[in-house]
Amino acid sequence: MTKSHLLVLFGMLFLCNACHSQSDNSTEYARARNAFHTQLTSEIKAPQTYSEFDDVRGTVKQLSYPSGDLRLKALLDTTNLESGKKSPVLVYLHGGFSLDYADVTVCRPFIDAGYLVFAPTYRGENGNPGNFEFFLGEVDDIKAAINWLASQEYVDRENIYVFGHSIGGGLSLLTTFHPDIPVKRSGSCAGIYYDENFAYWAEEDGIVPFDYENDNELFWRLPIYTLEHMTRDHLMYIGNNDYYKEDKADFEDMYPNQDTRLQLVKVKGDHQSSLPVAIKQFLDDIRK
């Protein structure tokens, strides 16, 4: 099935999931998403090794935040933490399936610009309770982390930004469908995924914990097919030696009028080397 056919299929699926009230599509999406419960076919932890965090390492402090009944780990760079001052924050969503101190280090341009950097972990990873859900429960955790962060006395809740890389880029894009979090702007370095990605991850890597042939499960995990429900603009930077050319072609084929709130931006580099370039450009772009 082509990506354009899936676009139509998922549009029809949304109509089946929605409540058909008088509210707009974005509100209906959020309501239907909150009502959806994944059916995991296996209860597994995130498929990546990790190292334990220190309580404090340099300027980086380990915290925890609540997400439903779970208590999950996070890292906060405290360089710009000052008593009595509310600071802008970058919420950084790591690539892969575990968080490391290097994920905070790569956000140095934001730290140098006066931001706090907050990097959450999600359920089932880094020794956390809960199970790996692959783009579903993790979004709930990110929302909980942002809402918890916004309530802290040292945070300027009017200036919370979200940025993710790779898997974290897909998660960052998924947050744009949720109007109930105080995010001013979001971006990512890569992060577009399709149904064939899940087929590969399931058949070759064995890391998909749900029925990847179930369209209802895929619908909530693949935002590229449902961009009309975005509630916030999103800048996605993709390296010229990554998949920019292919993603741009697919995007233009699926959305010929480009009437979405997703903007693809070409930067230099491959999947890894484009990350520091993208972070710096995102900082420049949100300053405009």
Per-residue pLDDT of the chain (288 residues; tens, 9 = 90+): 555 445 544 555 555 555 444 346 678 888 899 899 999 999 999 999 999 999 999 999 999 999 999 999 999 999 999 999 999 999 999 999 999 999 999 999 999 999 999 999 999 999 999 999 999 999 999 999 999 999 999 999 999 999 999 999 999 999 999 999 999 999 999 999 999 999 999 999 999 999 999 999 999 999 999 999 999 999 999 999 999 999 999 999 999 988 899 999 999 999 999 999 999 999 999 998
Three-class SS state of 183: coil
Domains parsed from the chain with CATH numbers: 51-286 (3.40.50.1820)
Specify the residue for token string 């979004």: 139
The answer to whether 88 touches 184, Cβ cutoff 8 Å, is: no
pTM for this prediction: 0.93
